Structure 1
Amino acid sequence: MKMKKYIASSMATAMKKVQADLGDDAIIASSKVVYSKGFLGMFKKKSFEVIAGVERADRNEMLYPSKPIQKPIMLDSKVPEDKTNEIKQELADLKKMMQSMKHQSASVQYPDELSTVIEKLEYQEIDPELITKISDELFTVVKNSKHNLTEQEVQELAKKQISYLLKDLPFGGISYQKKYINILGPTGVGKTTTIAKMAAHAVLKEKKKIGFITTDTYRIAAIEQLKTYANLLQAPVEIVYSRADYEMALLKFKNLDLVFIDTAGRNYKEVKYIRDLEQIIDIEKNVENYLVLSTTAKERDMATIIEQFLAFSVEKLIFTKLDETNTIGSIVNLMVKYKKGLAYYTNGQEVPEDIEEGSVKNVIDLLFQGDNK
């Protein structure tokens, strides 16, 4: 059997090269992590080296055409007995080696305990590039471990890898460092209900005096809903149609601790609605901006919304309707891609319940939910 060496930046990429070159019958002889020499001994680059071959003769002939095809050796009386025994032993050893490598190849691609974790991340719809990044790091640890790691141990390592990916992002709810809380987002994501939950927490837990401003003059139902919540919290509401109305509302609320701004729910994939909003709200004036997205939406659509709102200096996202989906990988994908933190996530319609502050631990628990039940 002819063997060939493959070097790639990730184990997954190396295995794809092997499969493309040698086909599904490829046999993995060995795999290891290698480091290239860096500048002045630093900045070493990690790669994955895989040595593989194929058992089928016709495949070898295609891969190595420069080698002449040898005629098979006939084990007859013309071959000395000692030579015959030697050839038989070599064939037996080769067959044993190939069977061993066949058994090994399945586990080398990714060990069972690692494959289980990868499947969980795939089920949660984590971005394939992130999965590759996480699994390659885990593969290195598993291969270099002095003992066989259990599935639970590998899962804990995966959680640490995800924590590392999220460690520099901001987490947690209202900071109470700024007076105006601007809640942005498209129609249908549950902005008004989310605002009510945040406001109830500020009143009941933090004992803040609050008020509401709404720019959602397009939907009477939304205004009435906000007024209902405001009455329950004994908070004033101002409806604004223009920048002048907005400035007047700020004056009326000058003695309040916190003011929640409920923006109009529109199709914010269209730039003109963003421009309309900028004409009314002063986003630079002591404002914390939060962007609300629904986990039931397509990730591509949510990405478009985030890009449209980049001008509003949104640091943290709010994700709603987690109770209506089985996967939350899009939360992680979007946070990592756009370097946005997580303020809150909601998992029901009850006010003030069904809202949780974002944290790295909460995100990881959601990804692996069910494992500790």
Structure 2
Amino acid sequence: MKVKKFTGKDMAEVMEKIRADLGQNAVILNSKQVEAGGFLGFFTKKNMEVTAAIDPEISTSRPFKRPAAKPAPVTGKKSDTDAQTLSISREIEELKSMVEKIKLPAENYPPQLEEYNQLFIDQEVEDFYRLKIMKKLLEKWYRHEGDNKTREQLDKWVSEELLSLLPEEGFGSFKYEKKYLNVVGPTGVGKTTTLAKMAAKAVLKDNKKVAFITTDTFRIAAIEQLKTYAKILDVPLEVAYSANDFNKALKHFKDYDLILVDSAGRNFRNSLYVDQLNKIIDFNKEMETHLVLAMTSKYRDMKKILEQFQLIAVDKLIFSKLDETDTLGALINIMADCQTGASYLTTGQNVPDDIEEAVPERVIERLLRR
């Protein structure tokens, strides 16, 4: 463990010295203002003094070669060997203690930044992404030391770092570039209601000729629910029990602008679910597939769902039930993990309302205002 003190006129200058000497993996142990120079106690200048440390074994920025261990002298006495073993054990324990002590100050942030750190924790932003953002914010903070950092300025910095985690494209509503829009996802996430909202927009706002196909033959209630929406919107509905039925429905609706496909919802832990979808639905180049994830689900469950749907090319995500939770961190985590954009956010059961286009800036604004 290498520990060293650095001084400079401000924190930015000290940080540059630490990076140059110890590398990017250095950890700040302590910082304080000290007075330097002057004459007889007058005309002194305030400098920053920072104590930093680095473990050469884990540093990636400054390669470290461990010196060859010197062989212990052979004395023939067991007591000498025991003493050496005890000494080595003490040194290891001291190093462990030092490592444990330097872990805590690594997350000490200025009060204004600590507010954002706590927000990320409360919103359940994954630690890997949270610490990555906070590191960038801390660098900007000391780079602009002495500047007036308003809430608007800090929000701008945070938004920039959150945006850098998300995919650069793939956001926004369905653009009718393809004829078939398939909505998939586990049971209970609100697929059918979301599909009805999308159909209402296509019919009422975009004046499109729309039709429904449902492959959800496992729940009678699901078919009846979609029939109700189809009747209200005055659009036809076909039920596909097999791949043959599905292909017949496609031919029947060949003159329509948009065919919305409602797939069966199943337990996402059932690996046969995606295989069954592949047997019924023809995932061709004319089809766009959106995966619905409920914000009431756990982040680790969302990751499992994504794993199950790897056999299907998911073009975009839809996040439902935003009105039923106070935490939005999983939304950021998932999109950062899979680098797939989102098309819609749903915020209730009302059709055709309670749905909005997913825009990265709005998503981030929602998280910051929680």
TM value normalised by structure 1: 0.73
> How far apart are 1:113 and its partner, in Å?
0.9
Task: Identify if the C-alpha distance between structure 1 residues 228 and 52 changes in structure 2 by more than 3 Å, giving closer, same or farther.
Answer: closer
Deviation at 1:4, TM superposition (A): 2.0
Report matched runs for 1:74-85 at 5 Å.
Answer: none
1:63 is matched with none
**Counterpart of 1:172 in 2: which secondary structure?**
coil
Greater displacement, 340-349 / 149-158 = 149-158
In structure 2, the CA distance between the partners of 1:139 and 1:228, relative to structure 1 (3 Å rule), is same
Measure, in 1, the Cα distance between the counterparts of 2:14 and 2:219: 61
1:5, 1:50 within 8 Å by CA — same for their partners in 2?
no
Give 1:276's aligned residue. 276
The residue number in structure 2 matching 1:289 is: 289
Give distance in 2, aligned partners of 1:132 and 1:283: 39
Match of 2:363 in 1: 363
Whole-angstrom CA distance in 2 between matches of 1:157 and 1:285: 39
- Contact 2:347-2:355 at 8 Å conserved across structures: yes
Measured at CA, do residues 158 and 238 of structure 1 come closer, stay the same or move farther in structure 2, by a change above 3 Å? same
Partners of 2:211 and 2:259 within 8 A in 1: yes
Deviation, structure 1 residue 231: 0.7
CA positional deviation for 1:35: 4.8
Separation of aligned partners in 1, 2:187 and 2:125? 26
Distance 1:324 1:201 in 2: 23
Unaligned runs of 5+ in 1: 7-27, 38-44, 55-96
1:115-169, CA deviations, whole angstroms, 9 ceiling, x for partnerless residues?
1111111111111111111111110111111414234422221111112222514
How far does residue 257 in structure 1 lie from its aligned partner after superposition? 0.4
Task: Indicate the residue corresponding to 2:15 in structure 1.
Answer: 32
Residue 110 (structure 1) shift: 1.0
Cα offset for 1:53? 6.6
**What amino acid does structure 2 have at the position aligned with 1:32?**
M
1:182 aligned partner: 182
Contact 1:31 1:51 in 2 (8 A): no
SS in 1 for 2:24: strand
Relative distance call for 1:190 and 1:100 in structure 2 (3 A) is closer
Q: How far apart, CA to CA, are the structure 1 residues paired with 2:23 and 2:358?
A: 34
1:128 alignment partner in structure 2 = 127
Residue 258 of structure 1 is matched in structure 2 by: 258
1:203 is aligned to 2:203: yes
CA distance in 2, matches of 1:123, 1:149: 23
C-alpha contact (below 8 Å) 1:171/1:316 kept by paired residues: yes
Q: 1:4 to 1:352 in 2, by over 3 A?
A: same
Q: Percent identity?
A: 43
**1:47 counterpart = 2:24:** yes
Q: Against the structure 1 CA distance between its residues 248 and 100, is the aligned structure 2 distance closer, same or farther, given a 3 Å change threshold?
A: closer
How many Å separate the matches in 1 of 2:266 and 2:28?
56
Of the structure 1 ranges 112-121 and 244-253, higher mean CA displacement relative to structure 2 is found in 112-121
Per-residue CA shift, 1:30-69, capped at 9, x if unaligned?
Answer: 96255569xxxxxxx9715445479xxxxxxxxxxxxxxx
Q: CA RMSD in A?
A: 3.3
Distance in 2 between the 1:177 and 1:100 partners? Answer: 57
Kindly indicate whether the alpha-carbon contact (under 8 Å) linking 2:291 and 2:316 is maintained by their aligned counterparts in 1. yes
Give the Cα separation in 2 of the matches to 1:352 and 1:244.
32
Query: How many equivalent residue pairs?
Result: 299
In structure 2, the residue matched to 1:226 is: 226
- Counterpart Cα distance in 1 of 2:132 and 2:313: 29
| Partner Cα separation in structure 2 for residue 174 and residue 210 of structure 1 | 13
Conserved? CA contact 1:113–1:150, under 8 Å: no
The aligned residue for residue 21 of structure 1 is none
Could you report, residue by residue, the CA deviation over 1:204-245 in whole angstroms, capped at 9, with x for unpaired residues? 111000000000101111000000000111100000111100
Runs of 4 or more consecutive aligned structure 1 residues displaced over 6 Å after TM superposition: 105-108
Q: 1:108 to 1:336 in 2, by over 3 A?
A: closer
CA distance in 1, matches of 2:188, 2:154: 39
What is the TM-score when the length of structure 2 is the normalising length? Answer: 0.74
Q: SS of the residue aligned with 2:15?
A: strand
